[in-house]
Chain A
Amino acid sequence: MSAALRSVNGEIRVDMRSFNTFSEIKNQLEKKLQRIDSYVLGTLVTLDMGDKRLSSKQVREIEDLLLDHGLHLRELRSNSKPREEEDENPFGDMPGYSDTALICRHLRSGQKVFCEGNLVILGDINPGAEVVAGGNIVVMGSLRGLAHAGAFGDERAIISAYRLSPTQLRIANHITRPPDGEVIVVSTPELARIRAGKVVIEKLKI
């Protein structure tokens, strides 16, 4: 059995559907490529993977292999859903709201902002300031005051901030505050959401 290789509009398509393991795929590809050295440098290649999924490391190996022959990987076609990508998206489960307000200033002590939908703040929220949103809250600065997301009871709402050090966080009807006496210095963006009935804070991975 061998892989079907076609040339369409100056691109190469390789059908890998009949192979199961990664080493088989790689061997077949290598064999085929030795025969097509005469192709123009920089030709794009599409691989049809069928139901199989490749890890990002395996994708890189294939890309390297193609590059050795002066070819570029254009696309890996696959029937299975890209599960990994969903896991990597921190906002995957975030509820959608049509209404979003953008606040382009610092919120100082005593100031309060409310929006029925999402709130995006380009600035800091200082201690004593409050932001309340029916949906999600994203702070592109330091969140040092109080933030309440999902104010109408949406437990899927999230609060994320470039620096998350609030006096209090509220999501739906959950209220949390930082632990007493502990000073935790985190110098990365973070995200707060409800998991298993508790407000948890996690590193924002984008």
Chain B
Amino acid sequence: MKSRVIVITSGKGGVGKTTTTANIGTALAMMDKKVVMIDTDIGLRNLDVVMGLENRIVFDIVDVVNGNCKLKQALIKDKRFDGLYLLPAAQTKDKTAVSPHQMKNLTNELRKDFDYILVDCPAGIEQGFKNAVAGADDAIVVATPEISSVRDADRIIGMLEASGLNNARLIINRLRSKMVKRGDMMDINDILDILSIELLGVVPEDESIVVSTNRGEPAVMETTSRAGGAYRRISRRLIGEKVPMLSIDEENLNFVDRFRKILKLAR
């Protein structure tokens, strides 16, 4: 199988790029794919914390591109899944420590050993963004149903297109179905109308994300998490499976609720 380099970006900060990267990476590894996640947010690294691998960092991405260590030495193997690796960012440097050219070489090097290379992009449109998209084949744009987030996503999609990534797909994160129903939140169609790109999935607002992030265990590992379920479906779509989009109501049901619903239908 040809390996894919997928950049996960959003423009705006705090919409869930890192959470998305951690969950999709873990879900792909759960499906027996070989996955490496690269944190390109040099100076503000988070992905290692979300994955619960912070205390294992010895070398980082800057060490790799500067030749201080071998690539294999910097890769951190996940404690739960065999095929899952993390290449952490440096915390003591800044974005200029890596160049787009170096990033491209790095991703090409990783293609040899991995099926999926997920690049967690920093917020903003400067050097960090340019580094993250340098070696990418595909892009996932994360947006929350807020005007500011959608505006920034639009800008980012334009910049992705300018750098040759015309197949960006959208994840709408932290959707609150009750607010949408009341008309207090942008709904999916409003967002798709403006961004006009393919929808990869919708992740509902879920408090369990905060818990799992703090514990360093991605939500996809919990079968009862609503957001985790959404990320599992997104990951299956990513590997080419046809997974139907759920309506907001269904997206909101957790595993137990859905089981109850099926029982009710059967009765």
Residues of A participating in the B interface, judged by any CB pair closer than 8 Å:
106-111, 124, 126-129, 142, 144
Contacts and interface: CB of A to CB of B under 8 A. Distances in A.
Contacts of B151: 109, 127-128
Nearest to B125: A110
A126 B195 CA distance: 8
A interface, by DSSP: helix, strand, loop or mixed?
loop
A90 B157 CA distance: 35
B196 interface: yes
Interface string B174-197: 000000000000000000011010
Most interface-central of A106, A128, A144 (chain B CB within 10 A)? A106
A109 B158 contact: yes
A129 B154 CA distance: 10
A128 B158 CA distance: 11
Interface residues of B, number: 11
A110 B151 CA distance: 10
Interface of B: 151-152, 154-155, 157-159, 161, 193-194, 196
A109 B196 contact: no
Contact of B159 (A107, A110, A128): A110
A111 B194 contact: no
Contacts of A129: 158
Contacts of B196: 106, 124
A155 to B, nearest CB: 31
Nearest to A145: B154
A111 B162 CA distance: 10
A85 B193 CA distance: 37
Nearest to A126: B154
Contacts of B157: 108
Contacts of A126: 154, 194
B194 A144 contact: yes
B40 to A, nearest CB: 21
A107 B154 CA distance: 9
